[in-house]
A and B are shown apart, each in its own frame.
Chain A
Amino acid sequence: MDIQKPIWKIYLKPTSEKPGVRDLFYLFNEWIPGSPEVFIDVCDYSHLVYGPQVLLAGFSTDYVWDNTDKVWGLMARSKQPIQGNGLEVLQKTFHDFIARVQEFQNWFKNKGIALELDTSKIRLEINDRSLYPNRSEYLKNLKEILSSQFGQNIKFTDLPNPKAILGVQIQLSDQEIFALA
């Protein structure tokens, strides 16, 4: 089972200060030059209530400050084929994402903005209805891969809506995310 196009999302803590659109624009614009990833432009969708708010469009990955599921968070959406088996694809994209999460947090910290991300859980979706559809056997396969990556003790919450893409929420112990990346 070939896994491609994973989407990772980490949430803002309910108690955290929310980043402003202008700050996000500055931050994403700073990520564009000189990055090993190919980034193209920053898009403002803040006129939409539930959805991507500010989006850094990339060649391989989009980074999004997102409210699609009505909870704010930073999301990485993979768009291009990645070499490797399912585990390798997830490892690579997770590693890249967490590195950006740290950068994201630090940027706001340096600006004196008390932004706190909830590092005890992370959302993963596989954005592919053809080769990795939202079916039970694929969900089982995904959980097995994730357990091999994150350890057998992690907890999963299945994401609802049968028409949506396959996804799970992964519950981890606090700070475990950074250690695992």
Chain B
Amino acid sequence: MFESANTYWKNHTKDKIDPDWAKNINEYEGDLALIHKGKVEDKVFAETRLRMGAYGQRYDNGKRHDGQESREIPFPDHDLKKGVDTFYHAPGMERIKLPFGRITCDQIETIADCAEEYSDCIIHITTRQDIQMHFCHIDDTPAMFRRLAAVGITTQEACGNSVRNITGCPVTGVCKDQAFDVSLYADTLFKFLLGHPDAQDFGRKVKIAFSGCADKPCGLVHIHDIGYIAKTRKTEHGIERGFEMWVGGGLGAVPYQAKCYSEFLTMDEFLPTVQALCRVYARLGEKKKRHMARLKFLVAKLGIDKLRELVQEEIKILKPDTKWQSLLPDPQGSWDQPLLNLQAPAILPADSNLVKNPSYITWLQTSVKKQAQPGYSVVTIRLPLGDCTSEQFRALGGVARKFVGDSLRTTVEQNMVMRWVRDLDLPALYEALAPIDMVRPHAESVIDITSCPGTDTCKLGIAASRALASELTRTIQSNPLMVHPEINALKIKVSGCFNSCGQHHLADIGFYGISRVFDGYTVPHFQLTLGGQFVENGKNFALALGGYPSKAVPSVVNTLFEHYIQNRLEGENYRTYLNRVTKKTISALLRDFAEIPVYSDKPEFYTDWGDVREFTMKDKGVGECAGEVVSPTDFGLKKADREYFEAQTLLDDHHIEKAVEKCYYSMYTAALALLKRNNPDASEDPNEVYEQFKIQYHDTKLMHDPFGGDRFVHYYFAAHQARGEKLDAEAAQRRVEEARLFVEAAHSCHIRLGQQLVTEKE
């Protein structure tokens, strides 16, 4: 039947799809057929489907832990796989690219239809302005791709080692602070790079962003592989448009700030430069070690000056392409225009007293902003956890069609914005959006928390980031301190693991999922990160402070708020305040929250937010017996945590050399702690620890992270080999991050080995 549904959509959409896109979908469909015949290797097909945005999803390996034991999910056709250890029939996630977050009313309605027919009716906006749908069956994907392509959406290169969605400031074109509207250029670059032969052979993904100005965070240029900030300069012919171009930024486990490639890239240089950069990255970027393959590592290795030199050389040998000019937009152009001019009669609300309604007034004050163009506003639709239902989405399309036409964008804060809303129509718009729960106030405020999917659906998730974000929203809404503008303006972001999909590095208060062993139980935790900078396109990264049990996190946040309000000096933002009061003070303030209550006192600490299952099976770690003995390994890991924190404090105080040394010792301590699992009398000589750790934990792959491989081990090895080496502040900052990741990996390894031991005993 689904084959005939696919055939229906193939026939029904054939005249509406770009021929290149159609060819791509046909080829993908052909590969799906070959998988059934066993003629395509799993891992080859995995890259094919990833490049079409068809991701795996948690539990697609056919196993789920129910709190007591790991149980098999009996998917049909157990021999049929769509990737390594990924069952063909396990539902997956579909990522839909929306270049610069733009979405039309037709696209909204089609996505709503697809979410209803192929997914679970939930549409999720990501931190890269994509849309994701979960629990999609792979057999439905060709029909879905065709329906989307028929309304101008491609999922091609939404995942895989390719140029991912090109993001852009959602208010560009209507913002008072912009140099010019970057939408046209983001669209140009999307068209230029999609399927471009020079952008097909990367070792990893490439993320690109555009911002209309340098100060606002909307584009987050500094955390991207390639970023463009709009700039203008005066010439004898008038105002010339160009870009400040940044290269080599990225979050992930260890964040890197992008480096300035050009202070003013002219439009003539725009496309040849990116093409040449792609070629240089494809040629010189790491291909084998996945964790070292992002462009940021190449930039760090070569230095920006050398990279620029190589790109300039590459430009000289590029075959000229007419698209370099033909794709460029009108040099004075702007993307969209108002649907309704100011002279047209107002759309009136049915309730003439609405303007006095306190809910309306709060929404107007907190979720609506004036545009650069007088008489028009931008309305932010705050989506809790970036989610909305297919019914809401479809209804939003209908409302937009009436008020603004196709002037909608998704945002990096997982919301949507409607641009070009006439001020005189705002009451009627509120009335139209209220029945579909799309008039939530306090957009982009402290309660508008960003979160990645975490353990809900992500295969890499360690803790429940979405459920924590949800709980924090509830807690903060009932906290009277929220009325303080200083609190209201804070950014909170949560990731399910160290990979920073929730962008915790950019938050004033950030969290990412970790776990700890206590009394033989594994307890869900979140690492607290403080002092990130979301403004200025994500210019400064937060630093980790320490791990806290998931269930203690709301109290941690309330305490942080209280201290900030009581101790903040006038005019101080959160980052300045933190630097003044020092992280040591904050750490002492939160010390009690790090304590884990015993299971019998507070069993709820042993389940994560939004779940009823115990966090893992009731396993006991080596040498432990509930509440009686703390093993040397536990002591050692605790010490490593402390040393790592001290390293960070030293760095904050600009004692770079000492910080670097402390980083090394935190890793050494963690390594020694693991060695003591099997040999409490293990030698403490650093060289001996290094050698033994290599033999016992690296060569045996015991320390290998299930997803990160041996990347964290190499942080320790590199630090050991580079002892005494002088690092600059930026490299020292990275070393601190690496130390944190190694210590976390040691904790995880300790937990994993404990679990294995219990399983073997059973």
Bound-complex Cα distance A169 to B73 (A) = 34
> Which residues from chain A contact B64 at a C-beta distance below 8 Å?
32, 40-41
> In the complex, A5→B139 CA distance in Å?
14
Asked, given contacts A26-B612, A127-B117, whether A79 binds B137 with beta carbons under 8 Å apart, the answer is: yes
Q: Is B610 part of the binding interface, using a Cβ–Cβ cutoff of 8 Å?
A: yes
A44 to B394, CA, bound (A): 22
The smallest beta-carbon distance between B413 and chain A, in angstroms, is 16
Assess the A59–B391 pair: CB atoms within 8 A. Answer: no
**Does B121 belong to the interface (CB within 8 Å)?**
yes
Q: Complex formed: what's the CA distance from A47 to B471 in Å? A: 10
Q: Is A33 an interface residue (CB 8 A)?
A: yes
Residue B120 CB within 8 A of the other chain: yes
Tier of interface size on chain B? 35 or more
Q: Which of B136-173 contact A (CB under 8 A)?
A: 137, 143
B117 near A43: Cβ-Cβ < 8 Å: no
Q: How far is the CA of A29 from the CA of B613 in the complex (A)?
A: 8
A65 to B717, CA, bound (A): 51
Chain A residues whose C-beta falls within 8 Å of the C-beta of B388 in the assembled complex: 48, 51
- Are A44 and B120 touching (Cβ within 8 A)? no
Decide if A47 touches B384 in the complex (CB within 8 Å): yes
> For A26, what are the chain B residues with a Cβ–Cβ distance below 8 Å?
612
B536 close to A (CB within 8 Å): no
- A38:B117 contact, CB within 8 angstroms: no
Q: Do the beta carbons of A40 and B135 come within 8 Å of each other?
A: yes
Q: Is A50's beta carbon under 8 Å from chain B? A: yes
Point out the residue from A77, A128, A163 that lies within 8 Å of B394, measured CB to CB.
A163
Known: A22-B612, A48-B437, A52-B122. A32 touches B391 (CB 8 A): no
Within 8 A of A (CB), among B52-77: 58-59, 64, 66-67, 71, 73-76
Across-interface contacts of B75 in A (CB, < 8 A): 38, 59
Using known A-B contacts A29-B612, A51-B122, determine if residue A2 contacts B113 with beta carbons closer than 8 Å. Answer: no
Cβ of A130 under 8 Å from chain B:
yes
How distant is the Cα of A48 from the Cα of B392 in the complex, in angstroms? 10
Contacting pair B66 A40 (CB below 8 A): no
Is A165 close to B, CB under 8 A?
Answer: yes
Could you say which residues of chain B place their CB within 8 Å of the CB of A40? 59, 64, 73, 90-91, 135
Contact status of A62 and B120, CB under 8 A, knowing A45-B387, A51-B391: yes
In the assembled complex, B323 has its CB within 8 A of some CB on chain A: no
A52 contacts B391, C-beta separation under 8 Å: no
Q: Which of A25, A29, A57 interacts with B120 by CB under 8 Å?
A: A57
Q: Shortest Cβ distance from A16 into chain B, in angstroms?
A: 23
Q: Contact between B89 and A59 (Cβ–Cβ < 8 Å)?
A: yes
Whether A81 is near chain B, meaning CB under 8 Å from some CB there, is: yes
Which chain A residues numbered 1 to 53 have a C-beta less than 8 Å away from chain B?
A: 2, 4-5, 22, 25-26, 29, 32-33, 38-41, 43-52
Of the residues A32, A59, A131, contact of B8 by C-beta under 8 Å: A131
Secondary structure call for the A interface: loop
**A50 interface neighbour in B89, B437, B467, B610, Cβ under 8 Å:** B437
Is A135 an interface residue, CB under 8 A from the partner?
Answer: no
- B91 → chain A closest CB, angstroms: 7
How many interface residues does chain A have, given as a range?
Answer: 35 or more
Would A81 and B392 count as touching, CB distance under 8 A?
A: no
| A57-B91, A57-B120 as given contacts; A52 in contact with B389, CB under 8 Å | yes
Asked whether, in the complex, the Cβ of A59 is within 8 Å of the Cβ of B76, the reply is: yes
Residues on B with beta carbons closer than 8 Å to the beta carbon of A22: 612
Judged by a CB distance under 8 angstroms, whether A80 is at the interface is yes
Give CA–CA (A29, B1) in the complex, Å: 31
Q: Which residues of B contact A79 (CB under 8 A)?
A: 137
- B 65-112 contacts with A by CB, 8 A: 66-67, 71, 73-76, 89-91, 109
Cβ of B66: which chain A residues have Cβ within 8 Å of it? 29, 32-33
Q: Which residues of chain A in 52-76 are interfacial with respect to chain B, using CB atoms and an 8 Å cutoff?
A: 52, 55, 57, 59, 62, 64, 68
CA distance in complex: A46, B121 (Å): 13
CA of A3 to CA of B645 in the docked complex: distance in angstroms? Answer: 61
What per-residue 1/0 map shows which CB atoms of B1-26 lie under 8 Å from chain A? 11011001100100000000000000
Contacting residue for A2 out of B1, B9, B121, B437, CB 8 A? B1
Interface centre among A44, A64, A130, by most chain B C-beta atoms within 10 angstroms, is A130
* Best-surrounded residue of B1, B12, B59, B116 (most CB of chain A within 10 A): B1
Contact of B391 with A81 in the complex, beta carbons under 8 Å: no
Indicate if A92 sits at the interface (CB-CB under 8 A).
no
Mask: chain A, 77-114; 1 = CB below 8 Å from B; 0 = not? 10111000000000000000000000000000000000
Q: Is B385 an interface residue, CB under 8 A from the partner?
A: yes
Q: Which residue of chain A is the closest to B74 with respect to CB atoms? A: A38
Taking a contact as CB atoms under 8 Å apart, the answer to whether B387 and A48 are in contact is: yes
Contacts of A129 in B (CB 8 A): 113, 117
Closest to A129 in B: B113
CB pair B5–A38 under 8 Å, yes or no, is no
Q: Are A57 and B394 in contact (CB under 8 A)?
A: no
Alpha-carbon distance A26/B611, docked complex (angstroms): 9
Taking CB atoms and an 8 Å cut-off, the chain A residues in 119-160 that contact chain B are 127-131
B565 at interface (Cβ–Cβ under 8 A)? Answer: no
| B4 and A2 within 8 A (CB) | yes
The verdict on A43 contacting B120 (CB below 8 Å), with A50-B436, A131-B5 known, is yes
Contact of B122 among A39, A41, A45 (CB under 8 A): A45
User: Is the beta-carbon distance between B120 and A52 smaller than 8 angstroms?
Assistant: yes
- Cα(A29)–Cα(B65), bound, Å: 11
* Nearest CB in chain B: distance from A53 CB, A: 11
**Nearest chain B CB to A111's CB is how many angstroms away?**
14
B456 at the A interface (CB under 8 A): yes
| Interface 0/1 of A150-181, CB less than 8 Å to B | 00000000000001110000000000000000
Q: How far is the CA of A180 from the CA of B387 in the complex (A)?
A: 38
| Residues of chain B within 8 A of A46, CB atoms compared | 470
A40 to B437, CA, bound (A): 29
Residues of the A chain whose Cβ atoms lie less than 8 Å from the Cβ of B392: 48, 50-51
Contacts of A131 in B (CB 8 A): 1, 4-5, 8
- Nearest A residue to B4 via CB reads A131
**In the complex, which residue of chain B has the Cβ closest to the Cβ of A62?**
B120
Task: State the CA gap A26–B135 with chains docked (Å).
Answer: 21
Shortest Cβ gap from B317 to chain A (Å): 50
Interfacial chain B residues near A47, Cβ < 8 Å? 384-385, 387, 470, 473
Closest to B610 in A: A44
Given the interface contacts A43-B456, A52-B121, does A130 sit within 8 Å of B610 by beta carbon? no
List the A residue with the shortest CB-CB distance to B89: A59
Docked-complex contact A80 and B391, CB < 8 angstroms: no
Q: Which of B527-556 contact A (CB under 8 A)?
A: none
- The proximity string for B residues 597-617 relative to A, scoring 1 for CB distances below 8 Å and 0 otherwise, is 000000000000011110000
B391 touching A130, Cβ below 8 Å:
no
Contact of B389 among A44, A68, A77, A80 (CB under 8 A): A68
Given A25-B611, A49-B437: 4 more A-B contacts, CB < 8 Å: A22-B612, A40-B90, A130-B5, A130-B143
**Could you list 16 examples of A-B contacts with CB < 8 Å?**
A25-B612, A29-B613, A32-B66, A38-B74, A39-B73, A43-B457, A47-B384, A48-B122, A48-B387, A48-B389, A48-B392, A52-B120, A57-B135, A68-B391, A81-B2, A127-B116
Give the top 3 A-B pairs by smallest Cβ distance, nearest first: A51-B389, A130-B8, A47-B384
